[in-house]
Amino acid sequence: MSDDPIIHVENLTRSYGSVVALNEVSIDLKPGVVGLLGPNGAGKSTLLRILTGELRPTIGSVTVLGMEPFANPDLYHRIGICPEQEAMFDDMTGVEFVSFLLRMRGWSPPEAASRTDEWIERVGLVEARGRRIRGYSKGMRQRIKICTAFAHDPDLLLLDEPLTGLDPLWRHKVQRMVADCAERGATVLFSSHVLHEVEAVTRDVMLLHRGRIAAEGNAREIRALIDQHPHRIRILAEEPRRLAVHLMQWDCVESVCVTDTGVRLTTPKPEAFYSRMTDESADGDLGVRGMESPDDCLQSLFDTLVLKRPVIAVADRNR
Amino acid sequence: MSEARFDRPRRLDTFEVVFQVAMLTLRRSLRGFRLLWPVLLVLLPGVLAISIARGQPPERQEGFFYLILAFYHFGIAVPVVALILSTSFPWPESDEGTLTYWFTAPASRWAIYIGRTMASLAVGTLLLPISVLAIGLPLEIEIAGPMQSAVTATLLAFPAYVGLFSLSSVCIRKTLVVGVVFVLIENSMSFFAGTIAKLTLVYYVRSLMWPESSPIGRDMLQKAARIDDPASAAVAIGVFVGVAILTILVALPLIQTIEYRGKHAQPG
């Protein structure tokens, strides 16, 4: 086994015109699962697009699995990608889409068919396998993306907000898939703006803020900081009022507000909340269709972190 | 890092990539309403031939045949069908967000581009001769020779247009708009006699269908399309083959190096 980093990023700067999306980022990623955490607009997707070779660095160098990523088919043979954007080949069925991507990765038709069946089943889309992707719900589209990222058993997985749009049960299952993948020896870079999503799969976290690595380290320490801020969660539900009444009985829920499509709540104990929500959603009685956490609390954490790091604070003021 | 957890399949070679991409693109082209506009463009002259020229004296039918071929088929149908079929990749897919799946597949970008272009060529090659048949078959005249040369001219001109438009789609974001403007300008230029007309592909395609044996056809092309001095078949074929090959050869290195940052790729 080589000691070379799986991902090596050195002084990476990427700008879009006058907007600097990434600013002198340096990363050495070793095997395992690493969470890339940051609020919206922090530069996570830009970093992932550079790592997948869709974008080039403006300044600096990047190697992934020892190769330069831009337009590099040898690298793409070994990585799995779950992009942030929802767009797919909507006129194809889920099976056709996954199978075609496997065929492009060199699998023979029978092997591609068998792998597709296996993974379609793993992401719970057996009943929708013959339907056009156009008719899939947001969660189903997300699961198909995950399917395409995992199905060829890649050495490196680059997952951009992979849990977006998934209900608690599928969040848990995908987190399990990531953990299984890592156990088999793959490296996973998992981006999210929700610490608890990342924390469920890894303790190693990189915090990206305003295009810079604001902190790297153990998720537990970061959670201790974030838990000082009230955590807001939005839940899409079939019966918001009934769910709100139910949630108000939970110790870990501080306040609940009913909206047209679901409920908004705050919790001082997000870990306990997510854990209980996953357990109780499993039987489907709560009618939860999706869950998301705005990044306000993360944003305030980042502000705290940046203020605690004078070098970064000074650099930010100079921008 | 795991080493050899399983035998990873070998990467597809270029021919396999081109074949896979072309087949998928063909299958997708035949679904839904993608081909609606090209099919309408192709069938429209047939409807016109039946409703306007059928039943007219043979000379008028022959005149109509050459007129609609020169103006509609070669001036509009061939370039517009090429435009519709060849400009969906890569910029439009980049804006849509699906380009990620093409450009992160373990295949060269240029091989994917070739596959897409082959599919466009295949669809157009099947569709456009139908347009010629749709014009000629309803007319009660001896037009086997002219129809043959019109189909040949179509099949030679179409790849040149596909090459041009797909090259512009590699380089320019709004290719559809640019293409429509190009078709309008090219048609306008083709009515200027002399050097200006010779800068257009329409001039060469009209030259290729020059009716040596039909005084009515010659008269129609001379008066209406203002072709007094048609290019030789060798020159016309050379122009089409040259444009097709040159545009594709220019596109190949460009697609390898251009960074396609679609609308979804906002800073962040």
Q: Give me the residue spans of the domains in chain A.
A: 7-218+309-313, 226-297
Does B103 touch chain A if contact means CB atoms closer than 8 Å? yes
Question: Residue B81 falls within a domain, yes or no?
Answer: yes
What distance in Å separates residue A240's CA from the closest CA in chain B? 32
Distance of residue B4 Cα from the nearest chain A Cα, in angstroms: 10
Domain membership flag for residue B7: no
The answer, yes or no, to whether residue B248 has pLDDT greater than 60, is: yes
Distance of alpha carbon B231 from alpha carbon A227, whole angstroms: 79
Identical topology for domains A7-218+309-313 and A226-297: no
Please tell me which residue, A308 or B200, carries the higher pLDDT value: B200
Which whole-number Å values give the CA distances from B261 to A63, A76, B99, B265, B266, in the listed order?
Answer: 20, 18, 10, 6, 8
Write down the pLDDT at residue A313: 32
| Domain assignment present for B142 | yes
* Pairwise CB contact (< 8 Å): B97 & A101: no
**Closest residue on chain A to B107 (Cα):** A73
What's the rounded Cα separation, in Å, for the pair A38 and A189?
Answer: 13
Contact, B160 vs B85, CB < 8 A? no
* B199, two tokens: 């800068």
Total residues found in chain A within this entry: 319
Instruction: Compute the distance between CA of residue A76 and CA of residue B108 in angstroms, rounded to an integer.
Output: 10
Residue B109 contacts A, CB cutoff 8 Å: yes
Closest CA–CA distance from residue A76 to any residue of chain B (Å): 5
Which chain B residues touch A21 with a CB distance below 8 Å?
267-268
Spell out which residues of chain A touch residue B17, defining contact as CB-CB under 8 Å. Answer: 104
Query: Which chain B residue has its CA at the smallest distance from A101's CA?
Result: B105
B264 contact A CB<8A? yes
Which residue among A31, A53, A85 places its CB closest to the CB of B1? A31
Helix B78-86, helix B36-48: angle, nearest 10: 170
pLDDT band for position B254 (cuts 50, 70, 90): very high
Mean pLDDT across the stretch B161-185?
93
Of A42, A76, A155, Cβ closest to residue B105:
A76
CA distance A117 to A111: 10
pLDDT tens profile B49-100: 888 777 788 788 888 888 888 888 999 999 999 999 999 889 999 988 899 9
Query: Is A68 in CB contact (< 8 Å) with chain B?
Result: no
- Which pair of tokens denotes residue A191? 């981006």
* Facing B11 at nearest CB: one of A56, A77, A101: A77
Domain that holds residue B133: 14-257
C-alpha B87/C-alpha B103 separation (Å) is: 17
Radius of gyration of chain B (CA): 21
Q: How many CB pairs under 8 A join A and B?
A: 120
Question: If we measure between CA atoms, which residue out of A266, A262, A265, A256 comes closest to residue A239?
Answer: A262
Whether the predicted pLDDT of B265 surpasses 70: no
Contacts of residue A33, defined as CB under 8 A and 6 or more positions apart, other chains included, come to A178, A179, A182, A187, A188, A190, A201, A202, A204
Cβ atoms of A88 and A74 within 8 Å: the answer is no
**Residue of chain A whose alpha carbon sits nearest to that of B21:** A104
Q: Is pLDDT above 60 for B131?
A: yes
pLDDT at residue B6 in the model = 59
Write the class of the CATH domain A7-218+309-313: alpha beta
Q: Could you tell me if A85 lies within 8 Å of chain B, comparing CB atoms? A: yes
User: Facing residues of A22 across strands?
Assistant: A14
Within 8 A by CB and 6+ apart from A288, the residues are A167, A168, A235, A236, A237, A243, A277, A281
Cβ of A52 within 8 Å of Cβ of B264? The answer is no
Distance (Å) from the C-alpha of residue A93 to the closest C-alpha of chain B? 11
Give the residue from chain A lying closest to B264, CA to CA. A85
Angle formed by the axes of helices B109-136 and B233-257, nearest 10°: 150
In a domain, B2, yes or no: no
Q: B11 vs chain A: nearest CA distance in angstroms?
A: 5
C-beta atoms of A53 and B103 within 8 A: yes
DSSP-H helix ranges across A123-237: 138-150, 168-183, 195-199, 219-226
pLDDT higher at A255 or B257: B257
Q: Is residue B54 included in any domain, yes or no? A: yes
Judge residue A32's burial from the number of C-beta atoms within 10 Å of its C-beta, 0-12 exposed, 13-18 middle, 19 or more buried: middle
Q: Are A277 and A155 in contact (CB under 8 A)?
A: no
pLDDT at B165 over 90: yes
Task: Name chain B contacts of A319, Cβ cutoff 8 Å.
Answer: none
Q: Among positive and negative, which fits the CA dihedral A279, A281, A284, A285?
A: positive
pLDDT for the residue B137:
83
B119 touches chain A (CB under 8 A): no
Q: Please give the pLDDT value at position A294.
A: 62
- Which member of B10, B98, B257 has the closest CB to residue A106? B10
Q: Which two tokens stand for residue B129?
A: 């001769």
Enter the ipTM: 0.86
- Rounded distance between C-alpha atoms, residue B96 and residue B264, angstroms: 7
Q: A23: distance to nearest CA of chain B, Å?
A: 12
**CB nearest to A101's CB, from B11, B97, B105:** B105
Cα(A205)–Cα(A216) distance, integer angstroms: 6
Distance of CA A3 to the CA centre of its chain: 26
What is A226-297's CATH number, 3.30.70.920, 3.40.50.300, 3.40.50.970, 2.40.110.10?
Answer: 3.30.70.920
Number of independent structural domains in chain B: 1
Angle A162-A167-A172 from CA coordinates, rounded to 5°: 65
**CB contact residues (below 8 A), chain A span 169-198, against chain B:** 184-187
Stronger pLDDT, B31 or A44, i.e. the higher one = A44
Residue matched to tokens 């879009």? A16
- Residue A139 CB-half CA count within 13 A: 18
> Quick one: pLDDT at residue A318?
35
For the stretch A84-109, what's the b/e string if a residue is b when 16 or more beta carbons lie within 10 angstroms of its beta carbon? bbbbbbbbbbbbbbbbbbbbbbbbee
List the single residue in B3, B105, B268 with the smallest CB-CB distance to A21: B268
pTM (2 d.p.): 0.84
pLDDT tens per residue across all 319 residues of chain A: 456 789 999 999 998 888 888 989 999 988 889 999 888 888 899 999 999 999 999 999 999 999 999 999 999 999 999 998 888 999 999 999 999 999 999 999 999 999 999 999 999 999 998 899 999 999 999 999 999 999 999 999 999 999 988 888 899 899 999 999 989 889 999 998 887 788 888 888 888 888 888 888 887 777 666 666 667 788 888 888 888 888 888 888 888 888 888 898 888 777 788 888 888 877 777 788 888 776 555 655 666 565 554 333 333 333 3
The number of helix segments (H) and strand segments (E) in chain A equals 12, 13
Which pLDDT tens digit goes with each residue over B97-108?
Answer: 899 999 999 999
